Amino acid sequence: MLIIKCDIDLTKNKIVAKSNYGDIRYILPNQDIPALKLYDFAMWGFLPIAMRLGLNIHIQGSLSIQSIESAQLVSKVWASWLPNLYQAVQITAESIIHQPQSEQSQQNLTFFSGGIDSTFSSYSHFLKHGKDSDCLTVHGMDYKFDDHAKFEALLDQTAAFRKEVFNTSHIIQTDAYNLYSKYGCNPKGSHVTHIFSLFSCATLFDKYQHYRIAADYRLDQQFFVHPYGSNTATNRLMKNHNADLTTLDDHVTRAQKTAFLNQSQLDLSTLSICVDYSARPKNCGKCSKCMRTKAMFYAIDSKIPEIFVDTQFNQDWFQAIPFHSKLNRAFIFDILATVESASKQDEFPGYSKLKNKVTAASKRAEVNPFYGMKFKDIIRNILKILFSPNRG
């Protein structure tokens, strides 16, 4: 049993969700902690750990029936998808609140990180509907929990955009990722726990009826990269006492989003794309994600915007990209489709070599379940197969 108790320090705007398997901290640096009647947020924060360890959850406090039913269903889905990694869990609490969803005016909270996806969804929605949402940016995911300088630099870089597009910006700092890492809560080669960290943080704000998250992949691409935490299927199952989770723009690819932003009036310098931690929130122009994004821009109008430290884009630009990753291959196929739809195969750098390379990598991945794995992980998986109690 995973037992959770919450300690709230109003003087420091800090909550520590304590458990017998470790603690998760939540800090609101710029505002007071909302009045909390329910501990749904803590349950959602610990759910990946409970699923990974096969432990039921008990909250020393109150939970909503909506969160309990939703979390139990979500755990069953993930356990069916990844039975060697996750197990379905049951959830109890000292008090369970059976209260219908509020009928007050609908309010929205949008997750915002500064990348292509969240910027596209936020900006395109703003252009159509005006300011109809607040935003939430979580410190402790893309930026280390104790790295305040880089996170503040991100906030500075995106400040003008957030002021234009959102009514209010919320910031939460959490170290949930540290505990997820300790217990190995993510599958090899992919990521699941980000959606639980985000939903947990958003649940602290119970005045909203809809949480919005930008899709990372178009719906068909979600099948290609599965398992991946933020997906249309399980996102729509996630609910708490007052709100549900909506996936925005799962009909649009990353390259299409990039094209929209490139052709808009948006100041692209707000974008933070890089995976090179030393360069963030600026964009190094050399890492795999920067190179993919440069390729998307180039496929549109054969230009690279001045948002990258290194703007070079030559014939072997894709050498920095690991093709064993299906996440990367999904974006490469997206880039190729953009080039082909514009009939730019002859002028796009390295087009033929790139297509041959990604096709070969996908064929290898289809027939070799160990493709791209480190040797130690291959051995570990073979041993699991050989000594599985369900073998044969």
| Confidence (pLDDT) at 385 | 60
Condensed to tens digits (0 to 9), the pLDDT of residues 22-77 reads: 999 999 999 999 989 999 999 999 999 999 999 999 999 999 999 999 999 999 99
* pLDDT exceeds cutoff 70 at 383: no
C-alpha–C-alpha distance, residues 187 and 197, integer Å: 16
| Confidence (pLDDT) at 375 | 59
Q: What is the CA radius of gyration of the chain?
A: 22
Q: How confident is the model at residue 104 (pLDDT cuts 50, 70, 90)?
A: low
What element of type H or E holds 54?
none
* pLDDT exceeds cutoff 90 at 384: no
For the chain, give every residue range classified as CATH 3.40.50: 108-248
Phi, psi of 216 (to 5 degrees): -80, -25
Classify residue 203 as exposed, middle or buried by CB count within 10 Å of its CB (0-12, 13-18, 19+). buried
C-alpha–C-alpha distance, residues 85 and 355, integer Å: 34
Residue 118 carries which side chain, given as an amino acid letter? Answer: S
Task: Name, of 105-114, 329-338, 361-370, 375-384, the range with top average pLDDT.
Answer: 329-338
| Confidence (pLDDT) at 372 | 72
How high is the mean pLDDT of the chain? Answer: 95
Q: How far is CA 196 from CA 17, 68, 276, 293, 371, in A?
A: 15, 14, 24, 27, 28
Strands of the sheet with 169-174, listed across from one edge: 91-97, 57-64, 2-9, 14-19, 24-27, 169-174, 134-139, 108-111, 210-214, 244-248
Higher pLDDT, 214 or 389: 214
- Is residue 298 helix, strand or coil? helix
pTM of the model: 0.94
What class, spelled out in words, does domain 108-248 have in CATH? alpha beta
- Short-list 89, 97, 12, CA closest to 58: 89
- What are the DSSP E strand ranges found in 193-337? 210-214, 244-248
Q: How confident is the model at residue 211 (pLDDT cuts 50, 70, 90)?
A: very high
Q: How far is CA 226 from CA 78, 82, 237, 327, 391, in A?
A: 11, 10, 17, 9, 24
Q: How confident is the model at residue 145 (pLDDT cuts 50, 70, 90)?
A: very high
Condensed to tens digits (0 to 9), the pLDDT of residues 212-247 reads: 999 999 999 999 999 999 999 999 999 999 999 999
C-alpha–C-alpha distance, residues 58 and 74, integer Å: 17
DSSP letter at 165 equals H
Q: How far is CA 123 from CA 117, 145, 159, 283, in A?
A: 10, 28, 14, 20
For the segment 328-352, the average pLDDT, to the nearest whole number, is 97
- Short-list 248, 255, 273, 30, CA closest to 142: 273
